[in-house]
Amino acid sequence: MQNLIQAQRTFFNTNATKDIKFRKQQLQKLFDVLKENEQLMFDAIYTDFKKSSFDTFTTELALVYSDIKEAIKKVDDWSRIKNKRTNMLNFPAKSYVIPEPLGVSLVIGAWNYPYQLSFAPAVSAIVAGCTVVLKPSEIPENTSKVMAKIINDNFAPEFFKVVEGGVEATTELLKQQFDKIFFTGSTTVGRIVYQAAAKHLTPVTLELGGKSPAFITANANLKIAAKRLVWSKFLNAGQTCIAPDYLIVHKSIKDEFLNLLKTEIENSHFDPDNKNYVQIVNRKNTERLVKLIDSKKVVFGGDYNLEERIISPTILDNITFEDKIMEEEIFGPILPIIYYDDLDAIVAKVKQLPKPLSCYVFTKSKSAKNKILNEISFGGGCINEAVMHLSNPNFGFGGVGDSGMGSYHGEEGFKAFSHYKSILDKPTWIEPNLKYYPQTSLKLKLIKLFFGLK
Ligand code: NAD
């Protein structure tokens, strides 16, 4: 690993990646090799957890392709030197900011959307002019292998290399000195990564998880809310970092909304008998999820098959914040419902919890919407929709507090892997003597004036 990182550092120091043409070529190459190997990727992910090629394309590859296209189109603009106004104190001078790539980067991916969560940060790194060591999650082993094959067969290791492995390999990687670490995964491992990065003062982006709530007020369009929530919750068998983790529903619509949710699930393709019903990624997670199903609270589903790693879409009703299911991020097809009476009280309660990655509000009420948006801190979210904010390329995506730090996609991704050098560029034909001795009261007066002070 030391040799690999040294080779990347040597390559980075040749300035090859600072050439915008080089970045565009590498991005186009990435686009092309992913396209050529699409079928391999579809097959691998189906073997790992039965994700269909339709879902893999729409929720993973489409986002990566669109990020690459956007990066190629915008890199000239993002990387150009930006002029800034020079303040009076420094007059005459030019002021500008130079974006520079941070250097050798490490991208660590999570397993739930393995292609998207590995390649999208790599696109951000490449467009910013960094070299990349990519460590995909080892859990879906076929997707990890395919990514290693596609990248390592087509890119020079000193520029872009996939290193496969689990905790041991990642721990070893984290001992090395990188110029940027981009991590996607759990809050627990995020802390480990942050501590390792601190040793070398390496900047980090942490894309973590958490329990994302969805509020449904009494006056919401309930049919639409049920349809959108069922899709976003059970997509990928609930293994989505921004999935609505639990619902907060006004108690006056309890029966009506519960019935709508059940009907939506019944009418959906989220059916364990469907050959494309996504599996839980491994036995350990299946067992963890099964333990979270409190049979006394099941009002829909609750069936599972440990061998097949399948859990049917499940609704748990009348949940309280004290229930076991509310202790950790669910990350599976189990939907708990908490009922509320008083919006002020429930918002106050949610504010006491760790800051979630997302928050969703289904309502026609402006005041309810504004209250939730203004009072609860969270990464990002939607009104009368769930999950889809991720698909708007004009947004940065990231968490806050326990759900992460920093953001990416589009220009935010470029910024995540860049440093902005501020330059004051002075001419020599004049030498204002304000800062030099002797210190007179007139000079002080002028300095105060230039600072905008009396
Ligand atoms: P994880 O934290 O277990 O693993 C993530 C990566 O860290 C993997 O590559 C793994 O090999 C590595 N890793 C695991 N343990 C390690 C250790 N002790 N030391 C060093 N490296 C280690 O997460 P996961 O199970 O792959 O993914 C699920 C979590 O990721 C959920 O919490 C989910 O919300 C979160 N997530 C967040 C986003 C986001 O964009 N914010 C996206 C997807 C998933």
pLDDT digits (tens, 9 = 90+) for 248-280: 999 999 999 999 999 999 999 999 998 889 999
Residue 317: what pLDDT?
98
110 part of a folded domain: yes
Q: What is the pLDDT of residues 140-171, one digit of tens each?
A: 999 999 999 999 999 999 999 999 999 999 99
User: Would you list the DSSP string of 151-168?
Assistant: HHHHS-TTTEEE---SHH
CA atoms within 13 A on the CB side of 275: 5
441 part of a folded domain: no
Centre of ligand 1 from the C-alpha of residue 111, in Å: 7
pLDDT grade for 393, boundaries at 50, 70 and 90: confident
Q: Which of 241, 264, 359, 382 is catalytic?
A: 241
In short, whether 170's Cβ falls inside 6 Å of ligand 1 is yes
Beta bridge partners of 339: 249
CATH number of domain containing 266: 3.40.309.10
Contacts 24+ apart (CB under 8 A), 78-84: 78/127, 78/411, 78/414, 79/20, 79/128, 79/129, 79/414, 84/422
Residue 207 designated active-site: yes
pLDDT grade for 340, boundaries at 50, 70 and 90: very high
pLDDT > 90? residue 382 = yes
Centre of ligand 1 from the C-alpha of residue 236, in Å: 16
Nearest CA to ligand 1 atom 8: 137
Question: Which ligand 1 atom lies nearest to the CA of residue 136?
Answer: 9
Are residues 201 and 177 part of one domain?
yes
Are residues 115 and 241 part of one domain?
no
432 part of a folded domain: no
443 part of a folded domain: no
Q: What is the pLDDT of residues 42-58, one digit of tens each?
A: 999 999 999 999 999 99
Are residues 274 and 195 part of one domain?
no
Domain hosting 112: range is 2-208+403-419
Contact in structure between 334 and 238 (CB atoms under 8 Å): yes
Residue 251 backbone phi and psi in degrees, to 5: -65, -20
CA separation for the pair 237, 277 (Å, rounded) = 7
Q: What is the pLDDT of residues 270-328, one digit of tens each?
A: 999 988 899 999 999 999 999 999 999 999 999 999 999 999 999 999 999 999 999 99
| 189, 236, 395: residue to mutate for ligand 1 pocket, most atoms within 8 A of CB | 189
Contacts of 370 (CB under 8 A, 6+ apart): none
Residue 90: what pLDDT?
94
41 part of a folded domain: yes
44 part of a folded domain: yes
Are residues 254 and 162 part of one domain?
no
Residue 275: what pLDDT?
83
Residue 135 backbone phi and psi in degrees, to 5: -115, 95
Across 301-430, the runs of DSSP E, i.e. the strands, are 304-305, 310-311, 314-316, 334-340, 358-362, 380-383, 404-405, 418-425
Are residues 279 and 178 part of one domain?
no
Are residues 415 and 366 part of one domain?
no
CATH number of domain containing 77: 3.40.605.10
Are residues 393 and 261 part of one domain?
yes
Residue 274: what pLDDT?
87
CA separation for the pair 353, 338 (Å, rounded) = 15
Are residues 232 and 117 part of one domain?
no
CA separation for the pair 379, 366 (Å, rounded) = 21
Centre of ligand 1 from the C-alpha of residue 184, in Å: 6
Beta bridge partners of 99: 420
* Average pLDDT score, the chain: 97
Are residues 275 and 198 part of one domain?
no
331 part of a folded domain: yes
Given CA atoms 71, 74, 76, 80 in this order, what sign does their dihedral have? negative
* Counted domains in the chain: 2
pLDDT grade for 454, boundaries at 50, 70 and 90: confident
CA separation for the pair 295, 299 (Å, rounded) = 9
Centre of ligand 1 from the C-alpha of residue 186, in Å: 4
Q: What is the pLDDT of residues 92-147, one digit of tens each?
A: 999 999 999 999 999 999 999 999 999 999 999 999 999 999 999 999 999 999 99
Say what percent of the chain tops pLDDT 70: 100
Contacts of 191 (CB under 8 A, 6+ apart): none
Are residues 290 and 333 part of one domain?
yes
Are residues 325 and 184 part of one domain?
no
In short, whether 402's Cβ falls inside 6 Å of ligand 1 is no
Are residues 369 and 251 part of one domain?
yes
437 part of a folded domain: no
| Residue tagged 């609704």 (tokens) | 315
